[in-house]
Amino acid sequence: MSSLYIGIMSGTSLDGIDLVLVRFSQSAREKTQPELLNSLLCPFPEQLRLQLSQLAQSGPDELELMGLVEQQLALAYADAVKQLLSRAKVTPELISAIGCHGQTIRHRPYAAFPFTYQIGDMFRLAAETQIRVVADFRRKDMAYGGQGAPLVPAFHQAVFANSSYRAILNIGGIANVTLLQPDHPVRGFDTGPGNGLMDNWIQQQGLGLYDKDGQYAASGAIRQDLLADLLSDPYFQLQGPKSTGREYFNDLWLEQKLHNGNYTPADVQRTLTRLTAQSIKIALVNEAIDELFVCGGGAYNQVLMSDLQQIFPKVKLDQTASLGVKADDVEAMAFAWLAYAYDQKIPGNIPEVTGARKAVVLGAEFSY
């Protein structure tokens, strides 16, 4: 027997809504290769993207704005699901559940009372699609003392682990890594900025939403003084479990680092690209990994990938596509798997990764 699940991921890069339609085997309690049936990327409407970006930082009347945006986001998710079903020629009643991450607007794992918050009205999503939704995956882990992030390592283990020492590197708005070392517990954590600072900077220059293929970065030079200042942030020296978000690594953080330095915009972009690569190197400095597989939007940034190959000259570097899952689809597939894991009562967190006191089944169900 098999079950169909939809996974929805909209990450900190705010590039849009990633969706996948996946078939899972009902007996897949061990390592499994989900069958990807279809996938789709739906860009955010510009106004919604701007509002979500606004909510990621403190501002006036946030509660009112959040309430309005949460409904718009749910409708955008629902419209994307309908497009995916139409594309795949599948009807809603054939779908076991939607696994939806929601949109993170706050992630405060180091607060006096740690919390994380993902918005999107899941009851509305269920009602609009007539499909059961499983969501709110992070807060149960936090209730057991974890950071609620990263959550993808359990999926990475289920799909990508083998006899070599592999690292699965997701470069979205924030970068996170999963360490799959044979005969060792799975580890994982956020390494720091991924594409988020680069995206924000190129948007400020009026040159688009992101640096396609790293072309703008390629026109600049690495400023070593700026890079050293950026890398002086204490986050990079923290040991895991650790997690972060665009609430921390954002425009204000960068402005404070730039001071009054005389840097061209292209030099800043090039240096931010190297920052992402170098912070990953710091995180993995003591790890004798054999293979590094990259997913997320950063996998398509040729300058960033070149930096990673230079920094890890003896490591096999490739995209996760070579393992059977396209770089764009990994995270959305992970949340389809988390919905499947919820139904099968499979723990979705890894205590060694998040710091939780125990492994637990993650998520909450929203019926239509």
The CATH number covering residue 61 comes to 3.30.420.40
Q: Binding-site residues for ATP, please?
A: 11-18
Return the percent helix, strand and coil in the chain, to nearest 5. Answer: 40, 20, 40
Q: Output the pLDDT for position 56.
A: 83
In a 10 Å sphere around its CB, with 0-12 CB exposed, 13-18 middle and 19+ buried, how is residue 278 labelled? buried
Q: What is the pLDDT of residue 361?
A: 98
Measure Cα distances from 192 to 103, 217, 276, 280, 283 in Å: 19, 19, 7, 8, 9
Q: Are residues 94 and 180 in the same domain?
A: no
Q: Residue 175: name the closest of 41, 291, 304 by CA.
A: 304
* Residue corresponding to tokens 């425009």: 251
Question: Alpha helix (H) ranges present in 168-301?
Answer: 196-204, 215-218, 224-231, 251-258, 265-283
Specify whether 336 is located in the same domain as 355: yes
Whole-number Å distance between alpha carbons of 38 and 61? 39
Cα-based angle 319, 170, 364 (whole degrees, multiple of 5): 125
Per the structure block, which two tokens stand in for 2? 């098999």
Write the CB contacts of 126 (distance below 8 Å, at least 6 apart in sequence): 98, 132, 133, 366, 367, 368
Same domain as 97, residue 74: yes
Bridge-partner residues for 292, per DSSP? 167, 317
* Same domain for 300 and 245: yes
Same domain, 340 and 256: no
Same domain, 229 and 310: yes
pLDDT of residue 11: 84
Reading the block at residue 137, the tokens are 């995956």
Q: Are residues 35 and 108 in the same domain?
A: yes
Phi-psi region of 75 (alpha: psi -120 to 50; beta: other; left: phi over 0): alpha
Candidates 155, 161, 160; CA nearest to 137 is 155
pLDDT for res 28:
44
143 and 180 share one domain: no
What are the Cα distances from residue 255, in Å, to 37, 42, 230, 259, 269? 43, 31, 11, 6, 13
Token pair listed for 324? 């059977």
Residues 88, 203, single domain; the answer is no
Examine residue 109 and say whether the peptide bond preceding it is cis (omega within 30 degrees of 0).
Answer: no
Identify the domain containing residue 292 by its residue range.
Answer: 153-323
Instruction: Say which residue the tokens 């999107």 belong to.
Output: 120
The segments of the chain whose pLDDT lies below 50 read: 1, 28
Cα–Cα distance, 355 to 106 (Å, whole number):
19
pLDDT at residue number 261: 82
Residues 314 and 334 in one domain: no
Q: What is the CA radius of gyration of the chain?
A: 20
Over residues 294-318, the pLDDT tens digits come to: 999 999 999 999 999 999 999 999 9
Q: How many domains does the chain have?
A: 2
Annotated binding site: 11-18
**Strand 95-100 with 2-9, pairing:** parallel
Residue 216, sorted as left (phi over 0), alpha (psi -120 to 50) or beta, turns out to be alpha
pLDDT of residue 357: 98
**Is the same domain home to 213 and 277?**
yes
Residues 95 and 169 reside in one and the same domain: no
Task: For 88-125, give one letter per residue: b (16+ CB within 10 A) or e.
Answer: bebeeeebbbbbbbbbbbbbbbeeeeeebbbbbbbebb
DSSP-derived pairing of the beta strands 17-25 and 174-180? unpaired
pLDDT in the model for residue 26: 58
